[in-house]
Structure 1
Amino acid sequence: MGGLAQNAAPTEARLTRLLPDGRKETITVDLTRALARPADVPLTTGDQLFVPSLTLLQDVVEVRGAFNGTAESSRTTTAGKPTIVQRFELAHGDRVKDLLARAGGTAAFADLRLAAVDRAGDGGPRQRIPIDLHRLLVEKDETQNIVLENGDVFTVPVAEDKVYVLGEVRAPGAVDFRPDLTPREYVAIAGGPTVRARFQNATVTLPSGRSYLMAEAPPLEPGAVVTVPEVTVRWYQDYLTIASTIAGLVTAYTGLYFIFNTNRP
């Protein structure tokens, strides 16, 4: 049959058997004992074995994302990093730190500041509760260690490992994050500013949403955005530049014409 599912409740299995007199008898079977050698439960034709889900019998919570996981974790990949999906039985009074310990702790590439608990509302939409694990684990702020409820989904995302250079650069896009690089060096990696760049007005926006002029920005973090704006040019200035270039060519041509024609006999 392929074994038990991850969310099965093996100690609460139900075996239903048809008796000779036509009546049905149902007994509880602890499959953890029945499947351990040498113990066994003899089955007969017509027997029905039902293994309920944990969610039918007890409170459960689910973790998703950048956790170290356990041997029972379902493994996935997010942004090229190994992540997990796993359900755990929820004991009365369990908090965020209790669940973290059971899920093996957060992975090295976890974005601690953007964790969240998704909770079913009372007849309404699900509620998202932000959880700042940096405050909880590093700053020891217990306000982030909330009590969990049945059906909660605790997610820890994978941290960004890119810096984005946008605007008037020759090769805009994502650049691998390196803590030793300055905003100017990220612009250089992106090909440098274009001829229409207003480089002195370049800005840095951190993942927190705060923006700075590039010259005043603090050290960059993964997920930061460096934006190089375009020089503000009025519509007629481009035409003036083109007209000036054409006028220069006409002047040069006229000068050459007079030079060569005045020397003729």
Structure 2
Amino acid sequence: MLEILLQSGRRRSDLFRCILMLFFLPVLFLGATIPVASAAEYRLGSGDKLRVAVFAEPDLSGEFEVEGAGIISLPLIGQLKAGGLTPRELERAIAEKLADGYLVNPRVSVEVMNYRPFFILGEVNSPGSYAYVNGMTVLNAVALAGGYTYRARKDRIVILRGGRSNDEELASEATEVLPGDIIRIPERLF
């Protein structure tokens, strides 16, 4: 009799675990953070640090930074425009340059190691440049900058994207921050 009770208890326990897994696994996958900019979408810009790997050619591989004008300097091929390209587009551009008289069928991989920083200005305690972290919000950025000053107007936060003033958008504390964003916290009138 005891054996039957133990077996039915195990079956209930197993059933309970299965139900939990069926319920929580989709929740975990739906709630998982998706990268802000996947490799297919993310556009490189000044300040991005990249790892470039040319397979079977360690002398051509290494870590490189996209310079101010969006240029990357690589061994053998020299300067190459990287700003505005996706990592996959840069891979193709490097492979084309290497195939043009240097290597036969080069295989290239480009990985973003560190994203360019974002900037926060205005009514925060420590305005300046900060390292971008995937999934960060305006509230996270404000916290990194030491919090709001007492004069901050929290309902009129502005984000400048793409480096052009016509790309300004109003933001809330929950707005996602992207690499290179300029966040401005205005002063309230009274």
TM-score range, shorter chain: 0.3 to 0.5
Highest CA radius of gyration, 1 or 2?
Answer: 1
Structure with more relative contact order (C-alpha pairs < 8 Å, separation 6 or more): 2
Instruction: Return the TM-score normalized by structure 2.
Output: 0.46
Instruction: Return the TM-score normalized by structure 1.
Output: 0.34
